Chain A
C-alpha cells in the first residue's frame, strides 16, 4: 500500500469534511439548529462561484482569478446562510418544538432551493476552472497536485481565521457565549437574532469554501450538495454536536477511512465503510467522540 498517497488523500478529504462539519457543529451549538439546508447552501455557492468565473473573472487580472472565484463562492455561501437564517431560524426560534421544526424548515428550504437551482440552471453540470493552477510538486517521492496543496492550505487557513476570530473578537465572544448557554447569553444582552445572522453567515461561508474546493474534483449540480451535507452532518454528530475538536478528530478519522477504503476495496465501498464506521462510533459513544473532550450540547 502506498502510505504517503493514502495519508495525503486522507488529509485533503479531512480538510474539506472538517470545514463542512465545523460549520454544522457551530450552527448547532450556538443556535440549536440542525441546518439540513447545508447541502443547498453548498450547491448554491458552487453556482455562485461558477457565475463569478463566467462573468467577473474576465475583467480581473490573472493572478487574482482563483481568489476571485473563491471569494465569489464564499460570499454566495454566506448569503445563503443568511437566507436560511431569515427563513428557518428567525420565525421559529422562540416557538415550541423549535429543534424539530427548525430542522424540518431547513429541509423544506433545501427541497425548494434545489428545485429552484434545477429550474434556473438546468440539470447539466457545470465545472469550475482550476483555481490553484495545474502545477505539480514532488515531496517525499509523492506527486502532489496544486489543487490538493491548495485545498489543504486554504481550508486550514480559513479554519484558523474563523477560530481565531471566534476566540479574539467581540462577535466571536458573543457566539461563544451563545454556545455555552443561550439563555444566559440573552440575559446579559447578546441578541439571539443578531448573533444568529453572524453565525449563519460564517457557517454559510465555510460551506461555500468547501463547495469551491470540492468542485475542483467534482462538478457542480443542483443535487450535488446532498452527499457532502450528509457526510458533514455525520462527522459533526460523530465528533459530538457542538464540539470543534471533536469534529476535527472525526474528520481526520473519516478522511483516513475514505482514503484507505478507496485504495484497499475500491471507490464504490467508500460510503458503506464510512457509515459502518459512523454507526460503530456512535454505538460506542452515543454522544460522539467529543464526550471525551468537552461537553456536547444535548439534542
Chain B
C-alpha cells in the first residue's frame, strides 16, 4: 500500500496528528493486502469541524421576536367568567385563555397589562401625600395640584394633537379665556364656585366652534400659526383690557371650593385631591374619545391622508369638529376649575412659555398616548415647580430633555419600548445576514421563503462538508488516487470519493468507451431519460484507470471552485 510521507516520523502516541493509522474495516474478510492497520497521509479529523461549528461565538440569549408573557394558571370551568365594566361588555383586563399544547393545561395570559400599571400609578398618586417629606410638604402639594390641572389640560390637548393629529396651539387660550371670564363673572356677579366650571364649559363650547371651523380648511403649520396667533390675540386683549386687571398681572378674587375655615394643610390636601379627581375625569374623557368610534375615525384620517379616509366613507371634517368641540368644552371646564382653584388667573397662562412648556410635556411623554401626557407633565412639573432652587437652570434642563427626546426618540418616553424592539430586530437581522456565507447557508429572506426547512439545514451541512473536504485535498492524495483509482484507499481519499459518488445524477461525470481498452472520454450525464450525455472535453484517455483519474481530477477541480 501507500508508504508514509518521507518527512513524517513513524507513528507514536504523541504525534497522531502528523501520521495517522488507518484501521482497515475489511480486514475481517481477508483478501490481498488487507492489512489491519495502515499508515495514512495526515488529514483533518471531521469531528473537529463539527465541534468548531457547534462552538458558535454567538451567545444564545433567551431573547427574540417572541414576547415573554407570564402564564397564569386557569381553570376550564372559569372559561367565560370575565370581569367586565358593568353596563357594557368591555373587559377590564384583556386576558387570553388557551390550552398549552405541551402540558395540555389551561393557561391564562394577560395580553395588555396597561390597566394594571394605570391602577398602580393612580394609587401611588393618591397615597403620595402621605409619603411626602415634611420639609417640602407644601411645595409638593402645590406642585401636585398644578400637575393634576396641567395633566388634565394636556390630556384634552392630546385628543387634538395625538388622536386628531392637528397641530393646534390654542389650548391654553381656551383655558385662559374661560378662567378669565369666569373669574370676572364670579367677582362681578358673585357666581358660586360650582358654577365656574359650568360657565367655563359654555365658553369652551363657543371657543371650540370658533377654532374648529378653520381646522376644516387649514392644515399643518398654517393652522398651528393661526392658533398661535389666536393665543397672542387673547393675551394682548386680556393684558390690555381694564376690566381684566391689566395693572395687577392677573385677575384674582373668584369664589373657591376650598373652605376658608380649614387649616392651610387641609386646604392644600383638598386642592391636591380635587386636581387629581380632575385628572381622572380627563383620563376618562380621553378613554371615551380616543378608545371609541370618534377616536378610530380620527386616527384613520390623519393629516395628508384625508383623501383616502374620505374615499372610504369617513366624514373626517365632522369628526374633527366634534373632537374640537368636545376637547374645548373640557378645556373650558378645566379653566373654570382653574379659576376656582387658584381664586383667579394670571396673564402668564397665555404666554408663549406656557405653550412651550405644555408642548414639552407632551413631547417628552410621547404624542398620542394618555400615559405620555401624564408622565411628561409629571417630569416637567417636577423640574419646574419642585426644583425651584435651580433657578433658570431648571428651564434649561427641560429644554435639554426636550431636545434629547426629540433627537433620539421617535415618540417620547413611551415610544422607547417599541423603538428598542425595532432597533433590536434590525441589529439581529444585520448580524444574521453577516453570519450567512455566500454559497453555503441560505440568506434569511431565502430561508423564510423555503417551505422545506430540511433544505435549509441540508444546505448548511453540505457547506460544512465541502469546506472540510477541501481541506483534505493534497498532492499525496491525488498521487494515491492516480496510482490506484479503484479499491481500498486511505480514509481521506475514501471520504472524498464517497462524497463525489453520492452527488445527484444531473451533470455527473461518467466515462464513455470510445474504443474498448484504447480510448475513453469523459462525459456528463444529463440526468433525464432519453437525453444523451454531453461531451465535456475532447481529450481521449488511453486506459480506463487514467479516465477514472481524469474524472476524479475534474471533480476535485469543481469542489475547489465551489
A residues near B, CB below 8 A? 34, 87-88, 91-92, 95-97, 99-101, 103-105, 107-112, 115-116, 118-119, 226, 230, 233-234, 237, 241, 268, 271-272, 275-276, 278-279, 282-283, 286-288, 298-299
Contact = CB atoms under 8 A, between A and B. Distances in A.
Contact of A109 (B232, B395, B403): B403
B403 A92 contact: no
B218 A286 contact: yes
B217 A105 contact: no
B399 A108 contact: yes
A101 B398 CA distance: 16
Interface string B48-63: 0000000000000000
Contacts of A99: 220
A298 B219 CA distance: 10
Contacts of A111: 353, 356, 360, 395-396, 398-399, 402
Interface in B352-403: 352-353, 356, 359-360, 363, 391-393, 395-396, 398-400, 402-403
A234 B229 CA distance: 8
Contacts of B229: 230, 234, 275, 278-279
Interface string B225-238: 11011101100110
B393 A101 contact: no
Given A237-B222, A282-B226, 9 more contacts: A96-B410, A100-B167, A105-B406, A111-B356, A115-B393, A115-B395, A119-B396, A286-B217, A288-B222
B322 to A, nearest CB: 21
Given A105-B406, A119-B393, A287-B222, A272 B236 contact: yes
Nearest to A91: B407
Contacts, number: 109
Contacts of A298: 220
Contacts of B396: 111-112, 115-116, 119
13 contacts: A92-B407, A104-B402, A105-B403, A112-B403, A118-B392, A230-B229, A234-B229, A271-B236, A275-B230, A278-B226, A279-B229, A282-B226, A298-B220
B399 A276 contact: no
B240 interface: yes
Interface string B159-185: 000000001000000000000000000
Contacts of A276: 233
B325 to A, nearest CB: 19
Contacts of B233: 271-272, 275-276
B400 A241 contact: no
A138 B219 CA distance: 48
Nearest to A36: B356
Interface string B403-434: 10011001000000000000000000000000
A193 B371 CA distance: 36
A282 B226 CA distance: 8
B117 interface: no
B76 interface: no
B221 interface: yes
A278 B229 CA distance: 8
Cβ-closest 7 pairs across A and B: A299-B220, A112-B399, A111-B399, A108-B402, A108-B403, A275-B229, A271-B236
Nearest to B237: A272
A24 to B, nearest CB: 11
B214 interface: yes
Contacts of A283: 214, 217-218
A95 B225 contact: no
A299 B219 contact: yes
Nearest to A268: B240
